[in-house]
Amino acid sequence: MICKKCGKFVEDGARFCEECGAKTDVDDILVDKTKAALDEAAEKADKLRKETRSEADRLIDEALDSANRAKKAADDALNEGVNAVDETVPPNGIPMPAPSAPVMNGSDTFGNPAPPPFYDEPEEEAPQPDESSKDYGEKKTKVGAGRIIGAGIITVIALLLLILLSIMFCMKLGISGNIVKNRVEKMSITSVLDGQLDGKPVYDDIYGSLAFSDLTNGSASRSDFREYLAKTDLLGFAAEKAAAYTDYMMNGNIADPSVSNNDITAFFEGNSGVDKEVFGYELKIADYNKLRSQLEKNKVEENLSLDKWSRTVGFSLDNLSYLFSFITLGIILALILVLLIWIAVIVDKRGKHLMGAYGNIFMWSGIIVFTIGAVIIAGGAIAYMLTGEAVFYIGSNVLLPFALFAVATGALEFILGSLFKRIRRAIRRKEKRNKAVEKALAANS
């Protein structure tokens, strides 16, 4: 064989030229030879079929002629027998017994059906199923549009439940009393005091609402009050109270932790040495009573009450512990599993549709949960830098563990959904290859 590109000799059967590396025509030659062999085999089979059919027709014609001759001989014998019987009938009309002659026209002498003649045409042999076309019990049927729509509706419901389960699970792991306490204690007291609240710094808002200048007889200025709060254990006090609120709502195993006026007054009493250091004035019992009255006037205790929060949201916050319990999480997980099985039943376990539905559920849930975590991590910090609001600084710090769990959970679900999508694409590619092979075989047959 000669290479078409460089003209060098190439061994028969080689796919590429050893000299220049060009691809040879060996594949095309093999295809042509195979097609020619198939055509020749088909021609021989057709010729043999025609010869076999002609021989069968000849044999059938000979058998029919023999049968007709035998039938004519039987009819002649029957007529002779009838004549003989007529001759033996006496005048009184009672027939005498006579030897019976065999009857060949379909029944014997006693009326029993005769056996089928030897010249009946043979029954045509039933076609045998093609072994290559067996699907071994699974009949591939096209999934109807109604089933696809039904599976889509179930997919959306499963997606929403999975998002809810993922967020609740991340909150269960990332928001607890100890975690919140540690996060609050690690915050910067300066950032907290200087953060904006209702259009002014936090320390200034507290200073005005407590009328702290009057309590100290004008000894405490605003800047002095900021320094005073920075030297107190304000973050420790806030961390303990925040942890109590969190444990109550997440676990529900403690008493109502609502902060009272006495708790706030006790905080100032516990830092009695700091006031003398900063203000040069030591708060007395009368001053603490004035502080308690000022807190009552501003309804601080009522504003920090869980009972008021419950009335505001229209839902008892102590029931949140049931919502975040592992029993509730298990029930939601069981519902999701049931819906996944339901989807498999609706689409008749067809891998292409099944993997597509599972892929959409896990991929979109992962994207949404991951986005929530990323927004809390990055969005809170960016919002605090742009606005200076203390709530963004405190929220981003306290919710950081939850956000990290959300990012990790979302990434895991996204990867799982991508695997389902990849399997679906592989199934579709396989179906396309099978259809192409069937089409090619049909064209060559």
pLDDT in tens, 77-116: 656 655 654 554 444 444 444 444 444 444 444 444 544 4
Q: 155 with 196, same domain?
A: no
Same domain, 156 and 183: no
Please give the pLDDT value at position 409. Answer: 96
Is 182 inside any structural domain?
yes
Whether 354 and 423 map to the same domain: the answer is yes
Co-location of 382 and 406 in the same domain? yes
267-318 residue pLDDT tens: 999 988 898 899 888 889 999 999 999 999 999 999 999 889 888 888 888 7
d(CA 186, CA 192): 11
pLDDT of residue 10: 66
Give the orientation angle of helix 400-444 with respect to helix 26-87, to 10 degrees: 60
Q: Are residues 283 and 347 in the same domain?
A: no
Judge whether 162 lies within some domain: yes
What pLDDT score does 143 carry? 64
Per-residue pLDDT of 352-366, as tens digits, reads 888 999 999 999 999
Q: Is residue 59 part of a domain?
A: yes
Q: Which helix (H) or strand (E) holds 196?
A: strand 196-197
Percentages of the chain per state (helix, strand, coil), in multiples of 5: 70, 0, 25
Indicate whether 226 pLDDT > 90: yes
Amino acid at 164: L
d(CA 432, CA 355): 17
Q: Name the domain count of the chain.
A: 3
- With respect to residue 245, please indicate whether it lies within any of the assigned structural domains: yes
What is the reported pTM?
Answer: 0.63
What amino acid is encoded at 215 in this protein?
Answer: L
Examine the domain organization and report whether 300 and 185 are in the same domain.
yes
Tell which wins on pLDDT, 179 or 59. Answer: 179
Which of residues 87 and 433 earns the better pLDDT score? 433
DSSP lists the bridge partners of residue 200 as: 197
**Final residue of a domain: which of 44, 63, 91?**
91
The helix (H) or strand (E) run that includes residue 200 is strand 200-201
More reliable by pLDDT, 148 or 14: 148
Range of the domain at 72: 25-91
Q: Are the C-beta atoms of residues 51 and 44 closer than 8 Å to each other?
A: no
For residue 150, pLDDT over 90 is answered with no
Q: What is the pLDDT of residue 45?
A: 64
Q: What is the mean pLDDT of residues 223-237?
A: 93
